Structure 1
């Protein structure tokens, strides 16, 4: 069996893709919009020895498989390839290559993972989320290159779900609208103090300072993010109101904030730590202070929080854990917050990711030169795969708004939402 035929058997003859291999073999549908080029026989080893979709992802990240055409279209077309490979299918692959000495040797050898895989991504749950380990996990993902992120994210440098006010809104307009939506839900007004935990490159901090006259403090575990944000704050003349610190949110000493925003941090906290996380943030607020939690969620709590053996955890978000929106709300409630509003923005995240995918494709050569082809490939397949996840409701994005009521139950909230919903 030829190498291209091996991949066709895995995908199924009806898959509208073409397969080509370094040995000159071709299979599938000639001239299809999507083509997989197999550069090495060891790509088959990754498929056989790695669980589920991880094998194909490793083969792509390592350069042993190339994908021609739009990655999102490739993944949506080839979901069967990226789905769980059953033991029976693995036996079919092995049986198909036993007659070829080169392929037989490749399959028999278990390859090490590509170097882009986090070396500390698989440990028992009780060892995760110390301050040191959280710093390692955040650095792995965010301390890649500020220049790379500028190309992918665009001028907003917002690496969280945007909120599209209109069908034809641009990514930049949607990111501005997201920050403004958070500000309005928090009821920000001039002179207030905002704490933004997991602040990234300072987008929410700068928005609150510039648009609302709020004195805003942001904290991030990424040194590169903090350096970029502090320079941007100075360049925009916001230093009197805005500040970003390179530090763990647990080390914030100040209290008495009027509002707290957590945009894209809860995914990194860990299920076991959520009670102390929300209690800590509750303690930072004045009475009547509001907290907005913006986080990726999953549709239910029936399965483990995140597959520790999966591609996302190994390559993108080490130690990441996703919970259902009900569980998140329960933890906020039990910490003392009165929940006043919740909404799901999952379709908005699919659109956001499509914008990032286009940005990466538009800057592909520069991105490869900046961070290396392996890292660029990780991002290409990860973002395109997440588009599918949000579109098909494997994952969601929830904003949950809570308020710290006074001893008599007063909340000083509007009778109805006043942020344009």
Structure 2
């Protein structure tokens, strides 16, 4: 059975995906805007050993399988076409093509394949206690210390690597990132003269926004050395050094207290379920009475599945040791730490739009990105961002902002009677 025949059995004749294979077989409409090219039997080896997303990811990242056209569209069409097939069906189809000697050698043996044409950028083996300071530093460095230049191309001028908030459907990515930082600032009630702690501050976007727009003295901390160096330079160039600072350090090592507000934008995913109680208690202890915490993080729709897929693509290639919890679990841990939760919202659709912008940016700078970080890393990020966009669109993952306040001893919250940080969205 030729590969093209198997492809049509898997995705159907109407998938609008052209399929090319090393055995010269073809399927699907010629000239389709999406093309899948299986360049080597070793791609089938990956699928045979792991017949699922991780097998497809390995084949693509290693360069044995190519996808031409918009990656999100390709993943969406493949997901839609293969949605009714269970993994037993897929294994049966794979066995149907493992007949020629070359393919059998590649797909059935447990020997390592030959050197890959594109080096696979897998996460290095992490040692030590999960979410210890040393191991967290290595995990964060793997993901964020890729190349500031690479991230400038992907993220755009805001250098914000977290979900934006689009005030309108036609807002640009930069407008949406500015709106996100300002939304956070208004939720935590920033005013001139206040002190802000921003944990997991990235390239300093929230720190600089708070200092520039609100006259707040802001301290940001990150475990990425490259991020801290970039942020400190950007702060100096913006003339904000008297108000803003970014340190290369673990948030657990911050010694200052009595902050008026704390923002955590995209850090909680790295904390670990077992450390959430200590995490929220630590942030609670950094605040003055009446101080507010805004926790912004990726979540999962429910708590019925494991919080981490140890053998999944993202854990193996992108976010080592990352863990996602449901919003209810996070809110409970915040309550247990002493916070009174005053507001919560899901920005799932906003993250899908954010990722679409990042994917367009990467495609626009593809050749430069490959030259900067290598084709393996560029392929990882292309697949990870498009796959994440699909995940948010299909409600496999969500993004929640939760606002909590540290009450005064007499129960005062210093909160307005009704939320004043944003008018209702239309529609």
TM value normalised by structure 2: 0.94
Contact 1:191 1:215 in 2 (8 A): yes
Counterpart-to-counterpart distance in 1, 2:47 and 2:30: 23
The answer to whether 1:174 aligns with 2:176 is: yes
Partner of 1:263: 265
Counterpart-to-counterpart distance in 1, 2:106 and 2:290: 64
Partner of 2:73: 73
Contact 1:10 1:89 in 2 (8 A): yes
Note the alpha carbon deviations across 1:111-169, whole angstroms, 9 max, x for none.
Answer: 47963111326x8xx93101111111101110000000000000000000000111111
The answer to whether 1:120 aligns with 2:122 is: no
Counterpart-to-counterpart distance in 1, 2:241 and 2:411: 37
Contact 1:153 1:159 in 2 (8 A): yes
User: 1:51 offset after TM fit, Å?
Assistant: 4.9
Counterpart-to-counterpart distance in 2, 1:362 and 1:108: 39
What secondary structure does 2:295 align onto? strand
Contact 2:10 2:82 in 1 (8 A): no
Partner of 1:43: 43
User: 1:345 offset after TM fit, Å?
Assistant: 0.6
What secondary structure does 1:302 align onto? coil
The answer to whether 1:420 aligns with 2:422 is: yes
Computed over aligned residues only, the root mean square deviation of the Cα atoms, in angstroms, reads 1.7
Q: Return closer, same or farther for 1:13/1:119 CA change in 2, 3 Å cut-off.
A: farther
Note the alpha carbon deviations across 1:314-363, whole angstroms, 9 max, x for none.
Answer: 11111111111111111011000011111111100000000000000100
Partner of 1:212: 214
Contact 1:94 1:107 in 2 (8 A): no
Partner of 1:338: 340
What secondary structure does 1:286 align onto? strand
Partner of 2:374: 372
Count how many residue pairs are aligned between Structure 1 and Structure 2. 417
Partner of 1:322: 324
Contact 2:51 2:90 in 1 (8 A): no
- Which of the numbers 297, 300, 303 marks the counterpart of 1:298? 300
Partner of 2:249: 247
Contact 1:52 1:82 in 2 (8 A): no
Counterpart-to-counterpart distance in 2, 1:253 and 1:82: 52
User: 1:80 offset after TM fit, Å?
Assistant: 5.7
Partner of 1:354: 356
Partner of 1:101: 101
Counterpart-to-counterpart distance in 2, 1:217 and 1:81: 48
Partner of 2:152: 150
Note the alpha carbon deviations across 1:192-231, whole angstroms, 9 max, x for none.
Answer: 1000000000000000000000000000000100000000
Q: Return closer, same or farther for 1:81/1:244 CA change in 2, 3 Å cut-off.
A: farther
Larger mean CA deviation between 28-37 and 111-120 belongs to 111-120
Q: Return closer, same or farther for 1:307/1:383 CA change in 2, 3 Å cut-off.
A: same
User: 1:87 offset after TM fit, Å?
Assistant: 3.4
Note the alpha carbon deviations across 1:364-390, whole angstroms, 9 max, x for none.
Answer: 110011001111111111111111111
Contact 1:51 1:85 in 2 (8 A): no
Counterpart-to-counterpart distance in 2, 1:115 and 1:43: 13
What secondary structure does 1:378 align onto? helix
Contact 2:11 2:82 in 1 (8 A): no
Q: Return closer, same or farther for 1:76/1:88 CA change in 2, 3 Å cut-off.
A: closer
Counterpart-to-counterpart distance in 2, 1:81 and 1:386: 18
Counterpart-to-counterpart distance in 2, 1:144 and 1:109: 34
User: 1:26 offset after TM fit, Å?
Assistant: 1.2
Q: Could you tell me which runs of 5 or more consecutive residues in structure 2 were left unpaired when the two chains were aligned.
A: none
Q: Return closer, same or farther for 1:51/1:2 CA change in 2, 3 Å cut-off.
A: closer
Counterpart-to-counterpart distance in 2, 1:104 and 1:10: 20
Partner of 1:229: 231
| Correspondence 1:274-293 to 2 at 5 A | 274-293=276-295
